[in-house]
Structure 1
Amino acid sequence: MSDTLALLGGSKVINFELNRYNSLGPEEVEAAKKVVESGNLSQFLGCWDPDFYGGPKVQEFEMNCREYFNVKHAITVNSWTSGLIAAIGAIGIEPGDEIIVSPWTMSASATAILHWNAIPVFADIEPNTYCIDPVSIEKNISPYTKAIMVVDIFGQSANMEEINRIAKKHNLKVINDTAQSPGSLYKGKYTGTLGDIGGYSLNYHKHIHTGEGGILVTNDDELAERMQLIRNHAEAVVKDKGVTNLTNMVGYNFRLGEIECAIGIEQLKKLDSKIKSRIHAAERLRNGLKGLSGLKLPEIRSGATHVYYIFPMEIDEKVTGVSKNRIYEALVAEGVSDISLQYANLHLLPMYQKKIAYGSKGFPWTSDICKREVDYSKGICPVAEGLNDSTYLGYEMCVREFPDEHVDLVIRAFQKVWNHLNLLK
């Protein structure tokens, strides 16, 4: 292998595509086959009936999730976006209410708030973990705040002890968006189970998946019932079920099918082993990169574990003397794929900059339901913005399998680039 940087004409460290991550095996094939052969692909009925709760595989998967996450209720949905919509509706949100959310997350965390004509208010993130910052949460609480959307980003929990203290002080509900962090722990409990409602994504590039799907978890009986109703045509069910609180009882078809749940049953059995493998790869990567000057490696919160959906790093250009963009180009040239220079800053999306969502007239922000002017200008989340502008470099571990020899190739590519930083200036 040539020692010359590939960017400057040398050969790549990695000259083949690393294996894509695949958590599926013959167990899932057999489970799906049995469902297909049964002819019962879904058993939900959108009325008050024993089948309101779905078929045998739906109920078995939900039971297994309850046992795994040690919660009273687990509710499957056809996507985690659907799960967030159901969770926000279930807490009784009113049009114009405000929910505080991180900007450093997938867009659905905030659009699920807008779905109910509530107002997203963005709080900044912690500089070391990239989770929502409790200090910024408290600064953004207004008389109209009703809930906190906590995003447990990249594979570890937010500071739930402090966030729950703030929520209790201000009488706020807490929803955990733990899409990227299933199976991680916070002070001995599963991340996503410490708020009023939490949940996990079963999208195809998560630790375990059913193609698309999600799992809601809660220990609150009433919230569980309301999420089940929103999942399955609430408006047609409430009368016969005897539900009298009609707030947000606008129902949908957010139901997950029997095939997906059969796959989910097998996938859940693998979650611990998949997490163990991911942690092993991440720690090997950490050990190989820890001596590179100007490269900040991921920090793990005290009392928490990290399951590494993404391996987030930062580049200090003052130390390296080279821009993160130039380093990125050199790494990509060496065959290091699946790295990114930016993550989300939702408040800077056109929807929030223009304040146009429903229709063309600025609803809900320009309507009477919005009780104050909410600021989405650049500068309100300096930590999140600064990461994208100057320092962030994310390695998307969720995309690949990582046997030791492939991790070592990634390490060699980083080391090669760092050994030639002087040529990139």
Structure 2
Amino acid sequence: MSTPRNDNRLALLGGTKTIDQPFKRYNPIGAEEVDAAKKVVESGVLSQYIGGWDPDFYGGPKVKEFERKCETYFGVKHAITVNSWTSGLIAAVGALDIEPGDEIIVPPFTMCASATAILHWNAIPVFADIEPDTFCLDPHSVEANITPQTKAIMAVDIFGQSADTEALMEIARRHNLKVITDTAQAPGARYKDRHAGTLSHIGGYSLNYHKHIHTGEGGILVTDDDELADRLRLIRNHAEAVVGPMGKTNLANMIGYNFRLGEIECAIGITQLDKLERLALGRQRIAERLNRGLSGLKGLKTPVVREDCTHVYYVYPMILDTDDLGVSRARIVEALEAEGLTGLAAGYVNVHLLPMYQNKIAYGSRGFPWSSDVCKREVDYSKGICPVAEKLHDETFLGFAMCLHDLEDADVDLIVAAFDKVWRNLEALK
């Protein structure tokens, strides 16, 4: 832990750093997880899946225990564990009976796997813009991007709070679409009276190492639909070898994988799930302290939380009014980092501007699937199609990765002191 210094000069300009020691790394793993993993290792049953129609098609005892625990916790009929959330997204898209060339609407302001999971099935990602204050998929932009080829919507509960799921589900109902919610960054957040990620046809959460709770790598799919749950389990575990003995006649996308989460990870997950509510409340308390400390700074907008919802702050998102400040975001970030503040993100991903989409090259070198007969129209990925997301990425978004740190109140005071110092010296940065 550091202590604030009295030197008012910016560290960037020769002064003393506000924060002279790194914050403690976030680590929710404790003795309980070590004991749980040890018991599994000692049992000798590290995995118990069979890639065929067998009682062990569904995995071993810890897999089943963790899934039942997740069903109770999130209030869903089915929870299906997978070895990564990317695997979960691939399984989710495939479970929807998506055909090659079908279009799925997705936001650009997300980790690239959200859209790549669509391409995996030779479907076409169509990027809709985001809300300017929550950074989640904008229902109005979704509606404007629906075509006869649209079959689904993938919402992303970015940074720790839910997209407007009720509005998206209403759009889906009117247009006969399915909705997937990618709640990788928001386990434990609430959308009104439900857990974020549980109101759509398929939702789910990431369990990789820097999420709120983790098993190293892993993911949890959730759904209330029996048929979708069956299809998710089949894609997870070598579907093509199992559909015959199971008597399944719908063979669409029944290409299976080894997306299975092991017994050790599930034993850890059982223990981690017990901590989720406490850890989420801790993030919310830290965010409230940051809100109080930063709210008076001109040209800085602190997080907006959707009405009747909660935010669990995987990232603490801010917006800079650089016109009001008279200083570029890059210069402000440079000054804050010189004060010792780590974990800042100037901008976020704009997936539609990645080389794969700008060049429309994915499978092979000839532009498949966009150049093939399965793609029914010319899909636009040019800069300008998502102006809100693009401006946030290029100019105004500033994130602090709360997921990286285990912050105490004194650490938050140091963060606020660093911001205060930079804001007092804005003229010197011009």
TM over 0.5: yes
Q: 2:362 corresponds to which residue?
A: 357
2:405 to 400, 404, 408: 400
CA displacement at 1:252 relative to structure 2: 0.2
CA displacement at 1:254 relative to structure 2: 0.1
Matched, 1:372 2:377: yes
Q: 1:109 corresponds to which residue?
A: 114
Matches within 5 A, 1:46-65: 46-65=51-70
CA displacement at 1:321 relative to structure 2: 1.1
User: What do the CA deviations read for 1:347-385 (whole angstroms, capped 9, x no partner)?
Assistant: 000000000000000000000000000000000000000
Matched, 1:125 2:130: yes
Rounded to whole Å, the distance in 2 between the matches of 1:60 and 1:174 is 27
What value does the CA root-mean-square deviation take over the aligned residues? 0.5
CA displacement at 1:97 relative to structure 2: 0.2
CA displacement at 1:342 relative to structure 2: 1.4
Conserved? CA contact 2:357–2:381, under 8 Å: yes
Q: 1:258 corresponds to which residue?
A: 263
Write the letter of the residue equivalent to 1:143. Answer: P
Q: 2:390 corresponds to which residue?
A: 385
CA displacement at 1:161 relative to structure 2: 1.4
2:168 to 154, 163, 170: 163
Rounded to whole Å, the distance in 1 between the matches of 2:253 and 2:81 is 19
Determine helix, strand or coil for the equivalent of 1:352: helix
Question: Moved runs in structure 1, 4+ residues, more than 3 A?
Answer: none
Determine helix, strand or coil for the equivalent of 1:100: strand
Q: 1:175 corresponds to which residue?
A: 180
CA displacement at 1:163 relative to structure 2: 0.7
**TM-score normalized by the length of structure 1:** 1.00
Q: 1:421 corresponds to which residue?
A: 426
Determine helix, strand or coil for the equivalent of 1:154: helix
Rounded to whole Å, the distance in 2 between the matches of 1:63 and 1:18 is 36
CA displacement at 1:242 relative to structure 2: 1.0
CA displacement at 1:314 relative to structure 2: 1.0
CA displacement at 1:75 relative to structure 2: 0.1
Rounded to whole Å, the distance in 1 between the matches of 2:153 and 2:166 is 13
Conserved? CA contact 2:90–2:117, under 8 Å: yes
Q: 1:10 corresponds to which residue?
A: 15
Deviates more, 1:314-323 or 1:343-352: 314-323
Write the letter of the residue equivalent to 2:405. Answer: R
Write the letter of the residue equivalent to 2:254. Answer: M
Rounded to whole Å, the distance in 2 between the matches of 1:342 and 1:331 is 15
Deviates more, 1:123-132 or 1:1-10: 1-10
Write the letter of the residue equivalent to 2:381. Answer: Y
**Where in structure 1 are there 5+ consecutive unaligned residues?**
none
CA displacement at 1:108 relative to structure 2: 0.3
Q: 1:69 corresponds to which residue?
A: 74
1:93 to 92, 95, 98: 98
2:87 to 74, 82, 85: 82
Rounded to whole Å, the distance in 2 between the matches of 1:21 and 1:13 is 21
CA displacement at 1:37 relative to structure 2: 0.4
User: What do the CA deviations read for 1:314-361 (whole angstroms, capped 9, x no partner)?
Assistant: 111111111111110000000010001010100000000000000000
Deviates more, 1:364-373 or 1:317-326: 317-326
Determine helix, strand or coil for the equivalent of 1:81: helix
Equivalenced residue count is: 425
2:222 to 217, 222, 228: 217
Write the letter of the residue equivalent to 1:256. Answer: L
Rounded to whole Å, the distance in 2 between the matches of 1:129 and 1:50 is 44
CA displacement at 1:105 relative to structure 2: 0.3
User: What do the CA deviations read for 1:101-152 (whole angstroms, capped 9, x no partner)?
Assistant: 0000000000000000000000000001000000000000000000000001
Rounded to whole Å, the distance in 1 between the matches of 2:324 and 2:27 is 38
Determine helix, strand or coil for the equivalent of 2:253: coil
Matched, 1:43 2:59: no
Rounded to whole Å, the distance in 1 between the matches of 2:283 and 2:102 is 39
Identical counterparts, % of pairs? 68
Determine helix, strand or coil for the equivalent of 2:160: coil
CA displacement at 1:187 relative to structure 2: 1.1
Determine helix, strand or coil for the equivalent of 1:326: helix
User: What do the CA deviations read for 1:47-77 (whole angstroms, capped 9, x no partner)?
Assistant: 0000000000000000000000000000000
Q: 1:286 corresponds to which residue?
A: 291
Q: 2:242 corresponds to which residue?
A: 237
Q: 1:185 corresponds to which residue?
A: 190
User: What do the CA deviations read for 1:383-425 (whole angstroms, capped 9, x no partner)?
Assistant: 0000111111111100000110111110100001001111111
CA displacement at 1:160 relative to structure 2: 1.1
Rounded to whole Å, the distance in 1 between the matches of 2:328 and 2:310 is 31
Rounded to whole Å, the distance in 1 between the matches of 2:92 and 2:283 is 29
Rounded to whole Å, the distance in 1 between the matches of 2:327 and 2:109 is 25
Matched, 1:23 2:33: no
Q: 2:37 corresponds to which residue?
A: 32
Rounded to whole Å, the distance in 1 between the matches of 2:155 and 2:397 is 21
Q: 2:324 corresponds to which residue?
A: 319
CA displacement at 1:303 relative to structure 2: 1.2
Rounded to whole Å, the distance in 1 between the matches of 2:213 and 2:401 is 15
